[in-house]
């Protein structure tokens, strides 16, 4: 019997049924506990030892639940929740040029972005997502919503050549993005990416500037790449090379590059991306819904290329739900390669956490339950009758559970989802404002 005085005081001690720490890989722990202090993970250790070693200010028992790192949504356009279901079952060209772009031209403004992003944050927390990478107009309005909701995010400094209500040309987008970064860079939950929209909307000159700035400011580059066959054919016609080769020549490849979608890659391209240390944001549902195709995930993973998972925006998904994305990633890879053993549950869980964190350069801070990292966590209820029986928590997360089984989530040690309800959904005016936008967009 030790003296209580020998126990270390901590803010929070969590006692879940199981823990999947992601690091070390492929492990599911039973009878373990997680200690959190000052927003960070202090220790992950056997329950009996945890009860002896720590004197917590708050104790949370999570019976029948699995605790894992908060999920990382590596690609979204958060504010587009307001266009959820606005245009479905349409060919990509019609969807974009006749529905989405005109709607954006009419409606997108700081309030649209604030409201849509806050709704997105609530939805993401509901599904255990604690970090996301965003690319949209008026990112300072998104930053305000994210701060309000209490999530962690990597905000894109979006760049296009053509004018929108947000900015007039590439230089204007860039200067507005940099000003946004200056205004918000002291926020410990925010980081930034340079986000040239895509090879077909950004010029060589701008890409060169992006490469230079990314190196100077040590920022990831987040861009749509090889999403559709059309994009590749157009590039061959206009530039004589495929978009990836064009970006290589312009000096964009390297560990800072996050290639979003990457549906159409041949093996040489996969190998090039791996050699350069690039990352893939795999968005399986969006790729299917827009008819883009099926990304070669088995080869991407087999070549050792790092990948995370992204929901894309709610107009092309239509849920910001990484549980769905995990399931689609695993199942599509098995089906497309006709091999049931590929992309197993732990691989998918890694992608949804540490894979995404690594792509964003945040793997020192989040993505696994290593002491010293931020306490970004989510808990999932596997003892729900609807999920019975269960034999392996990891495969149950990927193949059975849904976001509706997420119970609690913490960001930097602060509980932002409680018993399935995001703190920010109670925000006065949020749902009223969503309704107003709904009416305006529908009319």
Altogether, the residues listed in the chain come to a count of 443
**Site of tokens 């920010």:** 424
Identify the residue among 25, 49, 91, 275 touching its own copies (CB under 8 A): 91
Half-sphere exposure of residue 354: CA atoms within 13 angstroms, side-chain side: 18
Nearer to its own copies, 169 or 339 (CB): 339
At closest approach, how far in Å is the CB of 293 from its own copies? Answer: 5
Contacts of 319 (CB under 8 A, 6+ apart): 123, 285, 311
Identify the residue among 339, 364, 371, 432 touching its own copies (CB under 8 A): 339
Q: Does 299 bind its own copies (CB under 8 A)?
A: no
d(CA 341, CA 344): 6
Nearer to its own copies, 166 or 437 (CB): 437
Q: Does 144 bind its own copies (CB under 8 A)?
A: no
Q: With CB under 8 A as the contact rule, which of the stretches 137-145, 204-212, 250-258, 284-292 interacts with its own copies? A: 284-292
Q: Does 319 bind its own copies (CB under 8 A)?
A: yes
Q: Does 388 bind its own copies (CB under 8 A)?
A: yes
Nearer to its own copies, 275 or 435 (CB): 435
Identify the residue among 85, 240, 304, 428 touching its own copies (CB under 8 A): 85
Nearer to its own copies, 28 or 256 (CB): 28
At closest approach, how far in Å is the CB of 443 from its own copies? Answer: 11
d(CA 433, CA 80): 14
Q: Does 285 bind its own copies (CB under 8 A)?
A: yes
At closest approach, how far in Å is the CB of 321 from its own copies? Answer: 9
Q: Does 331 bind its own copies (CB under 8 A)?
A: yes
Q: With CB under 8 A as the contact rule, which of the stretches 27-35, 134-142, 287-295, 371-379 interacts with its own copies? A: 287-295
Identify the residue among 106, 185, 229, 418 touching its own copies (CB under 8 A): 229
Q: With CB under 8 A as the contact rule, which of the stretches 77-85, 172-180, 249-257, 356-364 interacts with its own copies? A: 77-85
Contacts of 204 (CB under 8 A, 6+ apart): 246, 250
Identify the residue among 344, 370, 414, 415 touching its own copies (CB under 8 A): 344
Shortest CA distance to 424 belongs to which of 76, 146, 68?
Answer: 146
At closest approach, how far in Å is the CB of 46 from its own copies? Answer: 22
Identify the residue among 292, 311, 407, 408 touching its own copies (CB under 8 A): 292
Q: With CB under 8 A as the contact rule, which of the stretches 139-147, 218-226, 265-273, 430-438 interacts with its own copies? A: 430-438
At closest approach, how far in Å is the CB of 403 from its own copies? Answer: 8
Shortest CA distance to 131 belongs to which of 421, 418, 420, 410?
Answer: 410
At closest approach, how far in Å is the CB of 340 from its own copies? Answer: 4
Q: With CB under 8 A as the contact rule, which of the stretches 12-20, 43-51, 67-75, 292-300 interacts with its own copies? A: 292-300
Interface contacts to its own copies, rule CB under 8 A: 81-82, 84-86, 88-92, 95, 119, 122-123, 126, 229, 285, 287-294, 317-319, 324, 327-328, 331-332, 334-342, 344-345, 385-392, 395-396, 398-400, 402, 404, 425, 431, 434-435, 437-438, 441-442
């Amino acid at each position: 019997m030790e003296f209580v005085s020998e126990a270390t005081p901590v803010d929070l001690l969590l006692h879940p049924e199981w823990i999947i720490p992601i690091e070390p890989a492929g492990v599911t722990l039973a009878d373990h506990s997680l200690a959190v202090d000052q927003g960070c993970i202090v220790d992950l250790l056997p329950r009996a030892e945890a009860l002896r070693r720590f004197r917590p200010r708050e104790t949370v028992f999570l019976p029948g639940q699995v605790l894992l790192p908060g999920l990382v949504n590596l690609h979204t356009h958060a504010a587009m929740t307001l266009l959820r279901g606005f245009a479905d079952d349409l060919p990509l060209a019609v969807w974009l040029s006749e529905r989405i772009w005109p709607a954006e031209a009419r409606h997108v403004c700081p309030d649209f972005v604030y409201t849509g992003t806050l709704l997105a944050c609530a939805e993401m927390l509901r599904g255990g997502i604690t970090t996301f990478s965003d690319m949209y107009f008026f990112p300072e309005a998104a930053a305000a919503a994210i701060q309000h909701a209490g999530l962690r995010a990597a905000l894109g400094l979006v760049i296009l050549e053509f004018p929108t209500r947000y900015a007039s040309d590439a230089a204007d987008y860039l200067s507005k993005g940099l000003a946004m970064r200056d205004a918000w860079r002291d926020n410990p939950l925010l980081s930034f990416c340079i986000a040239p929209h895509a090879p077909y909307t950004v010029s060589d000159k701008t890409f060169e500037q992006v490469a230079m700035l990314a190196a100077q400011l040590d920022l990831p580059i987040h861009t749509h790449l090889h999403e559709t066959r059309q994009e590749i054919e157009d590039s061959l016609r206009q530039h004589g090379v495929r978009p990836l080769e064009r970006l290589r020549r312009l000096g964009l490849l390297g560990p800072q590059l996050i290639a979003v979608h990457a549906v159409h890659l041949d093996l040489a391209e996969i190998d090039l991306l791996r050699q350069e240390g690039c990352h893939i944001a795999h968005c399986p549902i969006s790729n299917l819904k827009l008819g883009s195709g099926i990304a070669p995930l088995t080869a991407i993973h087999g070549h050792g290329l790092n990948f995370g998972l992204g929901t894309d925006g709610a107009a092309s998904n239509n849920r910001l739900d990484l549980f769905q994305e995990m399931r689609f990633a695993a199942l599509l890879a098995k089906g497309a390669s006709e091999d049931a053993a590929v992309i197993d549950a732990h691989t998918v869980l890694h992608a949804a956490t540490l894979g995404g964190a690594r792509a964003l350069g945040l793997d020192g801070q989040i993505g696994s339950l290593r002491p010293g990292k931020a306490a970004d966590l989510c808990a999932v209820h596997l003892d729900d009758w609807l999920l019975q029986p269960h034999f392996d928590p990891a495969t149950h997360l990927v193949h059975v559970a849904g976001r509706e089984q997420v119970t609690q989530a913490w960001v930097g040690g602060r509980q932002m989802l409680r018993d399935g309800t995001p703190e920010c959904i109670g925000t006065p005016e949020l749902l009223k404002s969503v309704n107003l936008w709904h009416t305006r967009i529908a009319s």
